[in-house]
Amino acid sequence: MMSKTWQKPLLAVLLALAIIFPMFAANDYYIYVMSLAYIMAIAAVGLNLILGYTGQLNLAHAGFMAIGAYTVGILTVDYGVPYWVAFVIAGLLSAVIGFFAGLLSLRLKGHFFSIFTLCVGFMIYLIIEKWDTLTHGTVGIIDIPAPTGIGPIRFDNTWSQYYLVLFFLVVSLWLMSRIVHSLLGRAFIAIRNGEDLAETLGINLMRTKVLAFVLSTFYAGMAGALYAGFVRFIGPAMALESHTFDMIAFILVGGIGTLFGPLLGAILLTWLTQSLQFLQDFRMIVFGPLLILLVMYFPQGLIGYWRERQARRAAASMQDRRLQRSVIGSQQEVGTNA
Amino acid sequence: MLEIQGLTKRFGGLTAVRDVTTTFEKNRINAIIGPNGAGKTTFFNLVSGYHKPTTGRIIFDGQDVTGLRPDQVATLGVARTFQSTTLFDKATVLDNLIVGHRLRTTSTFWDVVLNTRRLKEDEHRCRAKAEEVLDFVGLSSVAHHLAADISQEERKRVAFALALATDPKIVLLDEPAGGVNPEETLGLAELIRKMIRKGLTVCLIEHKMDMIMSLADKIVVLDHGEMIAEGTPAQIRSDQRVIEAYLGADYAAA
């Protein structure tokens, strides 16, 4: 559907740019900010699966990211579990909790689902904040160990952690690409387009939606686990819905329902926030109008806008070729269409 | 093929469908007509599983399907179209159709992760099916157009194609010729006949009486949720109750 010939080279160039980025960064702080953007992108890619592809606005997404982060924090700091073991458990636990939360909340549709998940997210926040003995309460968890080295590779400095995060980002995007371009992805998209029609086509709504929900919470959990090992301090506020809204902003800016939209949005908005840091809270005065303009002129986000142009051009060229071919056979074609 | 026994659906105090008993024969064109609000679409919703009947039974192909979910009913071979079809406008027509055959495939999430042969075969089969049904409804020429760019009549045909992609035994068409011009209506009627020649059974709701009278083998007339008549077009045309409730005196004279 898109011109695939130059898609692969473009991806290779982007990956190469990401790989050489630390060498050109002025200082370690830039590498740190970029790594953080990648982690947020992984979470946003997950949210995009349930929001952008399946059409269900889950406002508890930051809560599931917090579950992943706290799983790593609690297991490594209080129980001495090795980082990577905790990392795997974090992903699985988020997905398991996501399964039950999804089973319950996906009984509701549209706005009701969103409001319900808003409450689920807040419950996760409250549990983290109030359950001192397990989660350290409002104090948060400090001194979370950095990811332990694998073989000769160590993850104790910003550079190596950048590459670790980049690795997981690439894996996340690769897996998401598989999912959304498969028959399963088509089933998700069919649900977004119209639940009634999707059901008529024999798609089991509940099962398919729960699967999308679980996958998205798994992504959130993994992103949270990476976050814990990278920032090495976590507090209950990370479960708040304002972080979900940050991720929604990434998705809207980059392109809802596109593979790379969440990543582009995460990078752009993270750097924009950084460069407006000197304005402190007044940066929202710049931020707000920018977002409004974007939604007005690029409602599909930047990549969505670009994709639509591509698709239209491809369709037009197909049509041209067909017209040229059918000049002679036009009578025949009219005959079969009538 | 499709047997309806004492079907009733109440929404609170409103009885949308009241004690309807009828049968739809295999490989025939069956039409449901009646004034607005007669319960025609509710009837379709009951048969395709969107509503659970208050009382009554629905037997499809000798199997009791009463109370099954829409996706289960679809898997058994009941396809339907809606008055308006929600397509993914930013994808091509062909892309929109591929998911239609998903219910006949078996690949799971793990096939997707591992990119197994089964998944590739399933995807190949779905694409082939999409091309086949698109050809059947005469839309091969717009396969690569964006769904946003096709005409209303082509949209109707795509809706047919989606229904056909599920490999159904019976197709329920809700106002297939709604919003298209008389010439295009003839084309759609011909397409419905083509579906019968292929061995399908059709059941349709329609307001265009000329189309119904020339097309249908059997007509069921609903009024205020009740079946007031059933029979051949000739019988329906001369039925006094139908004339009063729906057709009007003019049509009877014609």
The DSSP H or E segment spanning A208 is helix A205-231
Q: Rounded to a whole number, what is the distance in Å from the CA of B13 to chain A's nearest CA?
A: 25
Nearest CA in chain B to A204: B71
| Cβ neighbours for A201, distance < 8 A, ≥ 6 positions apart | A190, B71, B74, B99, B100, B102, B103, B162, B165, B166
**Residue among B87, B102, B166 whose CB faces A193 most closely:** B87
What is the pLDDT at residue A28? 87
Q: B86–A187: do the CB atoms touch at under 8 Å?
A: no
Nearest CA in chain B to A175: B113
What is the pLDDT at residue B156? 92
* Separation CA A315–CA A289 (nearest Å): 34
Q: Scan for tokens 């990401």, then name that residue.
A: A18
Task: Assess whether pLDDT exceeds 70 at residue B35.
Answer: yes
Nearest CA in chain A to B141: A322
Q: A197–B82: do the CB atoms touch at under 8 Å?
A: yes
**Sequence-ordered strand ranges (E) for B61-212:** 63-64, 78-80, 170-174, 201-205
Task: Report residue A5's pLDDT band, with 50, 70 and 90 as the boundaries.
Answer: low
Q: B86–A193: do the CB atoms touch at under 8 Å?
A: yes
Structural domains of chain B in order of their starting residue, each with its CATH number: 1-77+168-254 (3.40.50.300), 80-167 (3.40.50.300)
> What residues of chain B lie within 8 A of the CB of A95, using their CB?
none
Q: Where are the alpha helices (DSSP H) in A52-180?
A: 61-79, 83-105, 110-130, 132-135, 158-180
Assess contact for B189 and B177: CB atoms under 8 A: yes
| Cβ neighbours for A313, distance < 8 A, ≥ 6 positions apart | none
Task: Assess whether pLDDT exceeds 50 at residue A271.
Answer: yes
* Separation CA A207–CA A213 (nearest Å): 10
> What residues of chain A lie within 8 A of the CB of B186, using their CB?
338
Residue of B71, B110, B194 to mutate for A, most A C-beta atoms under 10 A? B71
* Separation CA B186–CA B28 (nearest Å): 18
**Residue among B79, B92, B99 whose CB faces A190 most closely:** B99
Residue of B112, B142, B153 to mutate for A, most A C-beta atoms under 10 A? B112
> What residues of chain A lie within 8 A of the CB of B107, using their CB?
182-184
What is the pLDDT at residue B160? 94
For A205-220, write each residue's pLDDT tens digit.
999 999 999 999 999 9
What is the pLDDT at residue A336? 40
Q: Rounded to a whole number, what is the distance in Å from the CA of B72 to chain A's nearest CA?
A: 7
For B136-145, write each residue's pLDDT tens digit.
999 999 999 8
Q: Rounded to a whole number, what is the distance in Å from the CA of A104 to chain B's nearest CA?
A: 19
| Cβ neighbours for A140, distance < 8 A, ≥ 6 positions apart | A233, A234, A235, A236
Quick count: other Cβ atoms within 10 Å of Cβ A104?
A: 12
pTM: 0.89
Q: Rounded to a whole number, what is the distance in Å from the CA of A182 to chain B's nearest CA?
A: 7
The DSSP H or E segment spanning B20 is strand B14-24
**Count of A-B CB contacts under 8 Å:** 111
* Separation CA B61–CA B39 (nearest Å): 24
Task: Provide the mean pLDDT of chain A.
Answer: 88
Q: In the beta sheet, which residues pair with residue B202?
A: B29, B171
CATH of the domain spanning A7-323: 1.10.3470
Q: Rounded to a whole number, what is the distance in Å from the CA of B202 to chain A's nearest CA?
A: 16
Nearest CA among B194, B196, B155 for reference residue B176 = B155
What is the pLDDT at residue A337? 41
Q: B187–A182: do the CB atoms touch at under 8 Å?
A: no
Q: B146–A182: do the CB atoms touch at under 8 Å?
A: no
For A26-85, write each residue's pLDDT tens digit.
788 899 999 999 999 999 999 999 999 999 999 999 999 999 999 999 999 999 899 999
Instruction: Count Cβ atoms within 10 A of the Cβ of residue A61 and give its class: 0-12 exposed, 13-18 middle, 19 or more buried.
Output: buried
Task: Report residue A287's pLDDT band, with 50, 70 and 90 as the boundaries.
Answer: confident
The interface predicted TM-score of the complex, written ipTM, equals: 0.89
At B168, list the tokens: 């159904």
